[in-house]
A and B are shown apart, each in its own frame.
Chain A
Amino acid sequence: MKREITFKLNNEERKVEVDPAWTLLYVLREVLELTGTKEGCGYGECGACTVIIDGLSVNSCLYPILEVEDRTVTTIEGLRAGSGELHPLQQAFVNEGAVQCGFCTAGMIMSAKALIDENEKPTEDDIRDNIAGNLCRCTGYVQIIDAIKTVAGGGRT
Chain B
Amino acid sequence: MTRFEYHKPHTIKEAIGLMGSLEDAKFISGGTDVMVLIRQKKIAPAHLISLRNINDFSSIDIGDGLQIGGGVTHSDIVANEFIQKRYSALTDAAGKVGSRQIRNVATVSGNICNAAPSADTACPLLVFDADVKIAGPKGERRVPIDDFFLGASRVDLVPGELVTGFHLPPFGQNTGSAYIKHTRRQAMDLPMVGIAVRVTIRIGGSEIGCKDAFCAIDSISNILRRLEDEELRCEDVRIAMGVVAPRPVRARKAEAALRGKVISEALFEEVAEIAAAEAQPRNSIRGEAWYRREMVKVLTKRAILISVDRVLRPDDMIHPDRLW
Query: Is A88 an interface residue when CB atoms closer than 8 A count as contact?
Result: no
User: Is A37 located at the chain interface by the 8 A CB criterion?
Assistant: no
Residues from chain B with a CB closer than 8 A to the CB of A1 are: 5
Q: Which residues of A contact B6 (CB under 8 A)?
A: 20-21, 64, 66-67
Contact A58 B188 (CB under 8 A): no
A11, chain B: closest CB distance, angstroms: 21
Q: How far is the CB of B2 from chain A (nearest CB, A)?
A: 5
Instruction: Tell me if A75 is interfacial: C-beta within 8 Å of chain B.
Output: no
Q: Contact flags (1/0) for A117-157 with B, using CB distance below 8 Å?
A: 00000000000111111110000000000000000000000
| Whole-angstrom distance between the Cβ of A20 and the nearest chain B Cβ | 4
Once the chains bind, are A57 and B104 in contact (CB under 8 Å)?
yes
CA separation between A130 and B101, bound complex, in Å? 8
Contact of A132 among B31, B39, B75, B99 (CB under 8 A): B99
- Is A23 positioned at the interface, with any CB of B under 8 Å from its CB? yes
- In the assembly, what is the distance between CA of A39 and CA of B179, in Å? 33
B31 touches A62 (CB 8 A): yes
Q: Is the CB of A62 within 8 A of B99?
A: no
Q: How many A-B residue pairs have CB under 8 A?
A: 84
Give the docked Cα–Cα distance between A67 and B49 (Å). 11
B259: Cβ under 8 A from any A Cβ: no
A64-B31, A66-B8 given; A59·B50 CB < 8 A: no
> Is the beta-carbon distance between B102 and A133 smaller than 8 angstroms?
yes
Which residues of B, 165-201, contact A by the 8 Å Cβ criterion? 186-188
Beta-carbon contact of B4 and A20 below 8 Å? yes
Smallest Cβ-Cβ distance to B78: which chain A residue: A129
Name which of A41-49, A79-87, A89-97 contacts chain B.
A41-49
CB distance from B3 to the nearest CB of A (A): 5
Any B CB within 8 A of the CB of A105: no
User: B5 to A133, Cβ gap below 8 A?
Assistant: no
B36 contacts A133, CB within 8 Å?
A: no
- Which B residues touch A63, using CB under 8 A? 31, 35, 105
A50 nearest CB neighbor, chain B only: B101
Task: Given A20-B4, A56-B75, output 19 extra A-B contacts at Cβ < 8 Å.
Answer: A1-B5, A20-B5, A21-B2, A44-B98, A50-B101, A58-B104, A63-B35, A64-B50, A67-B6, A67-B50, A129-B187, A130-B100, A131-B100, A132-B99, A132-B100, A132-B186, A132-B188, A133-B100, A133-B102
Q: What are 14 of the A-B contact pairs (CB < 8 Å)?
A: A1-B5, A21-B3, A43-B39, A45-B188, A57-B104, A62-B32, A62-B36, A64-B6, A64-B28, A67-B52, A111-B101, A128-B187, A129-B100, A133-B98
Binding site for A on B (CB under 8 A): 2-6, 8, 28, 31-32, 35-36, 39, 48, 50, 52, 75, 98-102, 104-105, 186-188
- Top-5 shortest CB links A-B: A133-B99, A132-B187, A20-B6, A56-B104, A66-B6
